[in-house]
Structure 1
């Protein structure tokens, strides 16, 4: 998909980047990732992993082009960006005012080698002329310690080293090193390759290695995509969403990051800037379930290993809602003073205070995230009685906290209530444990968990209902509306045709929707009232509409959400209903999950065409 044309540069100049609207592509290999703008500039890349130091940070600002890796064309007139179909290999075409063009191919190597996945901390950039001999300029300016430290630079015959106190990067290239180091423009007369990664020598030649890595990586992603069980309609959107979710996994531990960035505001100039480069149990459950719906169960197996370790460390007590991708428990939040922020809208936050929160829906997310492993016969390591007994610990905690105040799934920092969504997920924990126990022929335990689920359900139906609003409210005894109650139908708590659920959907549409888009809640929070629509809430609305029989409305809103994506098919966390701009961290796994869920639910069946 094209990202469209860009503003024309002045004759004989290298144009500056246009204002950002998250027109970015993502590359990665399940170890790290990088974001690349529509002109082929790497603007964000944390190393050695998702939550590391952003050696390329220009997405959040900086001085004199520092913190970026650009391959510029002189007299830029237009650009065109797209993915190699069914892969995570990104292509960027740049064309000048004289009709000369070049192609940049970007990817992070990932493929099977010697019986395991080869996924080095390496970015490969390949450049070749498409027409004529365009004049180009290389600007490679990594920075360390969140942009505050310039590396020591050394070079050899075919490489440049960027030396920091904790990380050294090596660029291995067949481009003229003098031109790369000086930023001197030169003519592109032959194919050039840039391999930026660890301070190690290559086993083979630069061009041969780059070419082989590209072929193997394309082969891996095409094979992975080919195994997906796709709906009939919207297949390209689903494949792109699935690949993006896969890129959000940290394969070393099985963790899944909520997004790859920090501090992109949820709305302009609001200071709603958060660091999402960690693993939320809530978000990870939704990712696992979406990929499971496409028959991609490998991610679930890896995640369950991570989840088991996270829960075991709680010793049967409180489980925090998020962890570092290496199971780090302390994620203290601080402000990065030397970066101005996305479009100058700071602060830039590192860490996330939510690790200290009590968010009781986490226990439902734990059980729901693991439930399929007890029923799916395809798994290499299906779950059994020992795993069930571990999950029961989370279930007992759900029983204890079901009706206790918490920060809720929206992570309110200064207000605690008995949130309906938290109570709902505690019910889900008990309900699924009952089903798992029945499948394991544990009759007594099934009856035990059914009893708890039944009691919880009765209280939720009674105490979350607001007779004044004729809707389920966001908290027990409350009146404020919250889109998260739509999950009642999605997790099987209530028949979607129940008049109470139908009335709730109507009330939410009247009070939280801006046209097709849906905000999270109506009450003011720590920063006032939300301004932008939260994409996953719009997708919950789509799901609810389909369940109550309003399928054509659901399809129309889904098509609107597909148009809201950037030119590469990616979504951030939020959409501004008036401007259509994307806001919030990017790419947001919640939003990409919504694309998959909506397509699977709304697509015509395959038997209509075969």
Structure 2
């Protein structure tokens, strides 16, 4: 079997998702939702890649080529054999409106179509249970196979020969074969007709969704692909947006920087809706604002965690999945994330910032009102109380804390935006109240986060320290300073000197809980590109952006990290942070649509 890689193609329907490798293997997929049991787990199963996988192979197969259908997450894989025989595989998770609601079952659909010669196909369908502890037990009927996975069963309904599938035996494919791996219930209707109808309606749904995006003129394909992937990271039932679809892909080889990202970080989700708002994808924002309102309602003490489950659960206890060897055998595989216990006080600002849209955007189905403002003021109160307190920071240090400038900046943003909302609502007294608090936090940053290093000075990553981190580049993005502010320009110069490595950026260059960082952090490189644009260095910014796009997978996506020397991708995939960077930079750097006149 080939070595596991991140050359993966996401499919999904905002209920379940899957990752297809470059030879038509479904190697990662969790049920009944993104943070569930990975029934397809061969991506993290070390050298046991024939377990926890759903793969189609031709006898004497020599090549596999892939592409998405335009403006959809429907994946087409062409497998070709030595004698020229070939099949095309269509992979998708059904998503379309039915009976007045969105049909998005816990299901994967696959269609195999013979397109040349007389192909002989072998199907390996070997789902696992309990994080790779054992293969799912099976029973079967004439046209279905039932797989027992934990306390539930999943049924494969198919018009392919069930015996050949069970025995993983190759057979000649002389007509289209249809597979529906979903709820354990009788499949209503003809499998062939129904799965084809699902494919057609799913195609229509996604193309209409993309049609509503306000894309930049340049890099449209790249932006559309990232936008679709970001939408697949939303759990539509609650509105939560996960940081990535995977767990425990190492940030760098052999470092044990392996984390479970299948949860909703308030920070990451803020950046996601910010990017999709640039494109006019209001459906994602609306659902996420509902998720935030539920989070705030359920925090009686006012304290907000940095992350929650997609269902809003508070407790995400971290453990090791002992039966999975890890990506390329590089364990551990973690389930849960202990960062939920940390203090990360930037989250208060990242609740207020996206919520502010609800008071201004007239396109929303539900505009925010005074009751929402009163609720947000409680969040702002916590931002004020915590703005000068030490926390773990956005990089989630596990063994030390400090008053991190980024966290304080987001507390400033919370108070500042509340004053803007109060002004919109005509609440003069609340405007004065929140503006005064914002100014006090500003004064604290300007005095306690600034050091004179004899080279013009710079803002620092934490009060009382002189080290840098890339989050300082966000000072202009949140409008704390103007891009031409001398202090910001001096900080940009210091960051380039201290953290830039050629065309890439480190998040920081000091030791953390696991030693010195070894890989570039992709969102930080995109933050640098944004800062260069704001500094008037567009030619350099465009060059760096083009280089980052060269590192995307064949599916057009990015993970969290990048090896500086080799350019290989590391970290969980697809990473929402990184996809946000593509969208934001394309929107900033693209030439105007007016140029085609």
Instruction: Quote the offset at 1:20 in angstroms.
Output: 2.6
| Partner residue of 2:568 out of 581, 590, 600 | 581
Name the counterpart of 1:555. Answer: 542
Moved more, 157-166 or 208-217: 157-166
C-alpha distance in 2 between matches for 1:119 and 1:163: 22
Alignment of 1:409-448 (within 5 A): 409-448=394-433
Matched, 1:221 2:203: no
Q: Offset of 1:64 from its aligned partner?
A: 6.1
Q: Is the 8 A contact 1:21 1:581 kept in 2?
A: no
What is the match of residue 255 of structure 2?
270
| SS of equivalent residue, structure 1 residue 396 | helix
Per-residue CA deviations over 1:240-276 (Å, capped at 9, x if unaligned) read 0100010000000110010000000000000000000
Q: Residue 310 of structure 2 aligns with which residue?
A: 325
CA shift, 1:316, in A, is 4.3
Q: Is the 8 A contact 1:403 1:418 kept in 2?
A: yes
3-state SS, counterpart of residue 288 of structure 1: helix
1:76 Cα shift?
A: 2.0
CA distance in 2, matches of 1:160, 1:372: 48
**TM-score (normalised: structure 1):** 0.96
Partner residue, 2:469: 482
**1:43 alignment counterpart:** 27
Whether contact under 8 Å (1:316, 1:394) holds in the other structure is no
1:596 to 579, 583, 595: 583
Structure 1 residues 114-163: Cα deviation after superposition (integer angstroms, max 9, x where no partner): 11100011100000112111221100000100111222211111000001
Equivalent position SS for 1:481: coil
Q: Does 1:88 align with 2:73?
A: yes
1:292 matched to 2:277: yes
Query: Is it true that 1:241 corresponds to 2:246 in the alignment?
Result: no
Q: Distance in 1 between matches of 2:115 and 2:504?
A: 41
Residue aligned with 1:561, SS: helix
Cα pair 1:316 1:397 within 8 Å, conserved: no
Secondary structure of 1:136's match?
A: strand
Partner residue, 1:180:
165
- Is 2:177 the partner of 1:200? no
Distance 2:435 2:225 in 1: 39
1:70-109 to structure 2, matched below 5 A, reads 70-109=55-94
Residue 129 of structure 1 contacts residue 191 of structure 1 at CA under 8 Å; is this kept in 2?
A: yes
**Alignment length, in residue pairs?**
594
Is the counterpart of residue 385 in structure 1 residue 386 in structure 2?
no
Deviation at 1:481? 0.9
- Partner of 2:377, secondary structure, is helix
1:307 has 2:307 as partner = no
Aligned partner of 2:102 in structure 1 is: 117
Q: Which 10-residue stretch deviates more, 319-328 or 127-136?
A: 127-136
For residues 311-358 of structure 1, what are the alpha-carbon distances to aligned partners after superposition, in whole Å with 9 as ceiling and x for unaligned?
Answer: 122124211100000011000000111111000000000000000000
Q: Does 1:155 align with 2:140?
A: yes
1:516 aligns to 2:516 (yes or no): no
Give the CA RMSD over aligned residues: 1.0
CA shift for structure 1 position 286 = 0.7
Which secondary structure state, in structure 2, belongs to the residue aligned with residue 575 of structure 1? strand
> Residue 388 of structure 2 corresponds to which residue in structure 1?
403
In 2, Cα distance between the equivalents of 1:433 and 1:35? 41
What does the per-residue CA deviation read over 1:277-328, in whole Å, with 9 as the maximum and x for residues that have no partner?
Answer: 0000001111111111101111111111111111122124211100000011
Corresponding residue for residue 21 of structure 1: 5
Contact 1:364–1:428 at 8 Å: present in 2 too? yes
1: CA distance, partners of 2:254 / 2:201? 44
Q: Distance in 2 between matches of 1:61 and 1:606?
A: 47
Q: Which residue of 2 aligns with 1:60?
A: 44
Task: Quote the Cα distance in structure 1 between the aligned partners of 2:464 and 2:541.
Answer: 31
Helix, strand or coil at the partner of 2:491: helix
Alignment gaps of 5+ in structure 1: 1-15
C-alpha distance in structure 2 between counterparts of 1:100 and 1:411, whole Å? 52
* Secondary structure in structure 2 of the residue aligned to 1:372: helix
Partner Cα separation in structure 1 for residue 490 and residue 84 of structure 2: 59
- Following superposition, the deviation at residue 187 of structure 1 comes to 1.5
Check the 8 A contact 2:80/2:87 in 1, yes or no: yes
Match of 2:551 in 1: 564
Contact 2:130 2:150 in 1 (8 A): no
Distance 2:225 2:318 in 1: 32
The answer to whether the 8 Å contact 1:231/1:605 transfers is: yes
SS in 2 for 1:197: strand
The one of 413, 420, 436 equivalent to 1:451 is: 436
Tell me the residue number matched to 1:546. 533
Cα pair 1:172 1:195 within 8 Å, conserved: yes
- Which residue of the partner structure matches residue 10 of structure 1? none
Report the equivalent of 1:5.
none
Q: Which position in structure 2 is the counterpart of 1:282?
A: 267
Which aligned segments of 4 or more residues in structure 1 are displaced greater than 4 angstroms? Answer: none
Spell out, residue by residue over 1:378-437, the C-alpha distance to the aligned partner (whole angstroms, 9 max, x if none).
111000111011000010111111011000001000010000000000000001001011
Residue aligned with 2:345, SS: coil
Q: Is the 8 A contact 1:81 1:90 kept in 2?
A: yes
